[in-house]
Chain A
C-alpha cells in the first residue's frame, strides 16, 4: 500500500508559546530538536520546560533523526490511507509520527527509519515524519 501525501492538519499557534517554539523553529530548518534534562540527562518527548522525570530544567539539542519503529497502524479506512506509529529515537524517547515515502505494508516493527520534515496545511509549521533509513 503506497504512501499518498495527505493534508496534515494543525491546531494551535506555536509561535506564541516559548516553551515549544525552538522545536518548531528547528523543524522549519530541518532539525529535530529535543529536550535533555540538565540534571538527570534524560531526553523526553513531547518537549517540556521542566523534565518529566525529575522536574529539573532542560536544554535543547538536535537529535540525530535516527529511530526504530516501535509500532504501526495503517488507517485503511481513511482516504488516502495513512500509517501512524511510534518510533523510538536513538536518543531514547518514543514519539508519535506518520510514515511517509514508503510501502506501508513493507514496514516492520524494529526497522530503522530516519526523519523527514513536512509542512502542515495552510502554511502551517513543519513537523517530523519518518521514512525507512
Chain B
C-alpha cells in the first residue's frame, strides 16, 4: 500500500535567531517545538511521537529531549544522517502514523555552532575513533569545504561546469534573502562578487559556502483527519525517499549525489515528475551541492546543471525553478550545521502561500524539499520529500 498522503505537515516553525549564546541547545529545541505546535493549533499533550537526530543534546537519542520537554510518547526515532535527517524523519513519521504508532509527530532540530565558534567548513573535526574510516581519512584534513571542493573539481573536469555557473546559485539565493528579515546575508550579490571572493578550498570561493548559524526549526506531522480538523492550509506529504551513498570500497564517483537514489522512489510515490514542481527547496551547504542535486533529482540532464542554474533560472519570478526563497543556507541560516528542516519549512510556507510576497510562487501547489547530510566527498545520505497543497 502506498504511503502517499498518509500524513500532513500541520505545523512548521523556524527559530528567528541566528545567534543564541544565551540559550541552551535543549531550550532552542523546545522553543522550536512550541512554535510548531502553536502554528498547527495543537498542544504539547497532543504529541505522541518524537523525532530528532544527532543535534538533540544528550547521549541516548531522543531520551534527554523527551525528558526535558516532558513529552509522553509511544513512538520515538533518532535516525541520524546529518542534515538530511529531517527529510528522513518526515518519511519515518509518515510510516509511523500510517502504522498507527503515533498520531501527532514532532520533529525538532536546533544548534548553535556560531556561538560556539565552530569553524564548520575549514577545520577538520575528528569523529569517533572507532569509525572504521577514521584512520584513513582524518590525517588528510577532510574539512567540509574541501570535501565538496573535490566534487566540484571533478564535476568541472567531466562536464565543463564553471565557477560562474556555480555563482548563479548564490546570486539567486541572495535575491531571495534580501526579503528575509532574519537572513544573515541580505545583500544581493553578482556573479562577479562570488567569483572574486577569496578561495576557501579550490574551486569553491567564500560565497560558494553556506553561513554558520545558530537556530533551529520544528515540524508537526499528523493523520489526515486531524490535519483536516485544524485551521491551517493542508500540506500533504505525497512522496518520500532516502538513500545513503558512500565510497563503495574505493569505486568512487564524486559527480553525483544520493539524490539519484532517493529521488526516484519519491517521484514514484508522488506520481509526478520534476517539471510539475512549482517550488524547490534544495540543500545548499555549497553551491555545488545544489547543482549536483538538481541534476540527480531530474530537473536537468546529468552534466547540464551549470546551464540550468545560470541566468537567474532559480530566482523566483525570473526563472523556471524558484529555489530556496528564504535565502537558504547560502544566505539565511544553517542551524546546527544542518539545513534539512529549514528546507521543509520554506516549502510549507510556499504551499500555504505564506512566503514573503516578493518571492511567493503563484499557485504553488507542488513543492520538493531535498536534503543532504554528511559529506558529498566521502559518505552522505540523500533524502527527498515531495509535498502537495490540498
Chain A residues in the interface with B (C-beta under 8 A):
6, 8-14, 20, 42-46, 48, 51-53, 70-78, 82, 84-86, 88-89, 92-98, 109, 120, 127
Contacts and interface: CB of A to CB of B under 8 A. Distances in A.
A109 B154 contact: yes
A96 B142 contact: yes
A93 B140 contact: no
Interface string B119-147: 00010101001001111111111110111
B133 A46 contact: yes
Nearest to B119: A77
A11 B250 contact: no
29 contacts: A9-B139, A11-B135, A12-B129, A12-B134, A45-B136, A46-B132, A46-B135, A46-B136, A70-B252, A71-B150, A71-B151, A71-B153, A71-B154, A73-B146, A73-B152, A73-B153, A73-B203, A76-B199, A77-B145, A78-B122, A84-B150, A85-B150, A86-B252, A89-B250, A94-B247, A94-B251, A96-B140, A98-B140, A109-B154
B130 to A, nearest CB: 8
B145 A75 contact: yes
B217 interface: no
Residue from the set A10, A78, A88, A109 with the largest chain B CB neighbour count within 10 Å? A78
Contact of B141 (A12, A20, A84, A93): A84
B150 A72 contact: yes
A10 to B, nearest CB: 5
Please provide the 9 A-B residue pairs with the shortest distance between their CB atoms, ordered closest to farther.
A93-B250, A73-B149, A52-B249, A44-B249, A46-B136, A71-B154, A94-B252, A45-B250, A73-B146
Given A9-B138, A86-B254, A93 B249 contact: yes
B245 to A, nearest CB: 14
A11 to B, nearest CB: 5
Residue from the set B136, B198, B250 with the largest chain A CB neighbour count within 10 Å? B250
Given A77-B201, A78-B122, A11 B141 contact: no
B187 interface: no
B113 to A, nearest CB: 17
Contacts of A48: 132
B136 A75 contact: no
Nearest to B146: A73
Interface of B: 122, 124, 126, 129, 132-143, 145-147, 149-154, 157, 198-204, 247-252, 254, 378
A98 B252 contact: no
A86 B147 CA distance: 10
Contacts of A42: 249
A74 B135 CA distance: 21
Contacts of A12: 129, 134-135
Contacts of B204: 73
B249 A75 contact: no
B249 A20 contact: no
A45 B315 CA distance: 42
A13 B254 CA distance: 30
Contact of B122 (A20, A75, A98): A75
Nearest to A10: B139
Contacts of A72: 150, 153, 202
A64 B204 CA distance: 33
Contacts of A88: 252
Contacts of A10: 135, 138-139
Contacts of B152: 73
Nearest to A125: B135
A77 B123 CA distance: 9
A84 B148 CA distance: 11
A72 B251 CA distance: 17
B254 A76 contact: no
B249 A82 contact: no
A88 B139 CA distance: 18
Contacts of A120: 139
B138 A11 contact: yes
Contact of B201 (A53, A76, A89, A96): A76
A120 B135 CA distance: 11
Contacts of A98: 140-141
A97 B140 contact: yes
Contacts of A95: 136, 250
Contacts of B198: 76-77
Given A46-B136, A97-B140, 9 more contacts: A11-B126, A12-B134, A53-B249, A71-B151, A71-B154, A73-B152, A75-B141, A75-B201, A84-B141
A74 B145 CA distance: 10
Nearest to B152: A73
A13 B135 CA distance: 9
A96 B138 CA distance: 10
A13 B252 CA distance: 27
Contact of A74 (B126, B132, B143, B201): B201
